[in-house]
């Protein structure tokens, strides 16, 4: 067991290194750190006393910092320059993001983006290692395989420098801190920061700890207090510069989500080249009926029902080692319910401990967990989807007939389908009477779970 864990650690570290370096190298291409560049310019716009929720203000800031209007490569979709410039200059983040990004935006671009990338690599890499460490207590081989799949498929995190790398990392580290009852205040701070920047990524993970009760509820409330302080300070700051920010924010959200916008989940994403990066359930449903009133309503109703069942189960059961099952169930549902992309989908790393725990049973349930979790991780992996896209790129996407639409959904939305299967599977397992662990199978992991004594 010790040799397996040592070798597994080496493999995971190697994959983290290769994945991050490969992603950073790809950042020198036409997408160069585009997400952080937008975050940086929007925050500098506010620092200079200009309303960042007005696109022209952010555009002037971007151009004054030496930025150039995007041009399209010969292999890229013709609409790419417009969408890229939209992602750079349309600010749709909450005001609380300004406070978190301000220390970086106060610096010149050179040191700012280097420090941001170093922080992203440290936080994201540590999160993967911690999830691997928990899973390895049950099954080192399975934990190593799953962690390596995520680590090697993180190009979008480092090429675009999206804040999701830090947010997802903070969220996973906080879950580890809480469930292991170690470095608790670090977990409280990290979860609070995660909620402040991307509440739609970490919100339901926070909800688990709130519903779990006991000391976990206290920690969830402490994290929420940190988020509230950041949010209040941010709103006071933004109101001073942009008193109409709320209306402008809603306009910006409508702009990027409208037909032809960068975040539109509809079939036109095929032409825009963002077809594989959008992972929410709306992307599947829009193939069958391209009407936001339909696919938004259906998604909220379906995912809302799943979350209601999950919440009731969480309220009724006391904390147990199966807390990881609860997080494995809610992570994919989080990604399905509203707008998310590949970089947000790295949240599925929370399923590594649960999958390893089920595998330790050496049963059909463990094999099913391994198959479904692997499929979800691969279908949301950057490299996997690039290969998949190349294979099906010439497929004539149909818009007529239920069978053709179903085939189209499978071919162009594999990530969404993988997350859907994963969410349903782990929710089903979570709702079952959890079987007892085999003696000795998870001893190493349970010894490191002092949080079990909190109730």
pLDDT tens track for 274-285? 555 788 888 888
The closest alpha carbon to 167, from 312, 326, 36, 328, belongs to 36
**Which whole number is the average pLDDT over 359-372?**
88
- Which of the pair, 419 or 317, is modelled with greater confidence? 419
d(CA 155, CA 159): 6
- Among 43-57, 131-145, 355-369, which range has the highest average pLDDT? 131-145
In this prediction, residue 340 carries a pLDDT of 86
Q: How many Cα atoms occupy the beta-carbon half-sphere of 382 within 13 Å?
A: 19
Average pLDDT, the chain: 82
d(CA 172, CA 135): 13
Whole-prediction pTM: 0.87
pLDDT at residue 73 tops 80: no
228: which 2 tokens? 């509230």
Q: Identify whether the C-beta of residue 158 lies closer than 8 Å to the C-beta of residue 121.
A: yes
Out of 164-173, 336-345, 350-359, which region has the weakest mean confidence (pLDDT)? Answer: 336-345
pLDDT at residue 95 tops 80: yes
Tell me the C-alpha to C-alpha distance, in Å, between residue 423 and each of 216, 330, 427, 454. Answer: 23, 7, 6, 28
d(CA 140, CA 212): 28
In this prediction, residue 71 carries a pLDDT of 57
How many percent of the chain have pLDDT more than 70?
81
| pLDDT-based confidence at residue 437 (cuts at 50, 70, 90) | very low
Contacts for 42 with CB less than 8 Å, ≥ 6 apart: 52, 58, 61, 91, 93, 98, 101
């Amino acid at each position: 067991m010790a040799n397996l864990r040592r070798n597994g650690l080496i493999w995971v570290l190697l994959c983290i290194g290769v994945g991050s370096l490969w992603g950073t190298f790809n950042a020198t291409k036409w997408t160069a750190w585009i997400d952080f560049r937008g975050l940086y310019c929007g925050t500098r716009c506010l620092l200079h006393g200009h309303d960042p929720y007005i696109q022209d203000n952010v555009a002037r800031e971007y151009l004054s910092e030496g930025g150039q209007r995007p041009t399209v490569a010969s292999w890229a979709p013709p609409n790419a320059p417009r969408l890229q410039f939209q992602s750079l200059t349309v600010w749709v983040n909450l005001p609380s993001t300004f406070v978190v990004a301000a220390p970086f935006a106060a610096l010149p671009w050179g040191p700012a983006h280097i420090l941001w990338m170093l922080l992203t690599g440290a936080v994201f890499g540590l999160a993967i290692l911690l999830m691997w460490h928990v899973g390895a207590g049950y099954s080192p081989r399975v934990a190593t395989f799953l962690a390596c799949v995520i680590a090697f498929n993180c190009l979008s995190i480092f090429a675009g420098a999206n804040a999701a790398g830090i947010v997802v990392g903070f969220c996973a580290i906080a879950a580890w801190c809480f469930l292991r009852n170690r470095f608790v205040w670090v977990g409280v701070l990290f979860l609070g920061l995660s909620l402040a920047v991307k509440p739609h990524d970490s919100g339901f993970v926070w909800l688990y700890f709130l519903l779990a009760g006991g000391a976990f509820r206290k920690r969830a409330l402490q994290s929420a207090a940190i988020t509230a302080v950041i949010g209040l300070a941010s709103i006071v700051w933004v109101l001073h510069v942009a008193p109409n920010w709320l209306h402008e924010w809603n306009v910006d959200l409508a702009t990027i989500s409208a037909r032809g916008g960068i975040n539109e989940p509809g079939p036109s994403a095929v032409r825009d080249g963002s077809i594989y990066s959008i992972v929410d359930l709306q992307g599947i449903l829009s193939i069958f009926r391209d009407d936001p009133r339909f696919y938004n309503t259906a998604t909220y109703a379906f995912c809302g029902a799943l979350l209601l069942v999950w919440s009731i189960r969480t309220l009724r059961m006391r904390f147990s080692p199966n807390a990881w099952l609860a997080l494995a169930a809610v992570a994919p549902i989080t990604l399905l319910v509203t707008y998310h992309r590949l970089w947000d989908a790295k949240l599925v790393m929370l399923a590594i401990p649960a999958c390893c725990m089920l595998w330790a049973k050496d049963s059909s349930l463990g094999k099913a967990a391994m198959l479904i979790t692997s499929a979800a991780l691969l279908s949301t992996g950057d490299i996997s989807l690039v290969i998949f896209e190349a294979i099906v790129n010439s497929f004539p996407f149909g818009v007529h007939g239920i069978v053709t639409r179903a085939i189209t959904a499978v071919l162009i939305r594999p990530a969404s389908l993988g997350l859907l299967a994963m969410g349903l599977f782990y929710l089903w397992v979570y709702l079952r009477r959890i079987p007892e662990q085999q003696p000795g199978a998870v001893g190493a992991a349970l010894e490191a779970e002092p949080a079990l004594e909190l109730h």
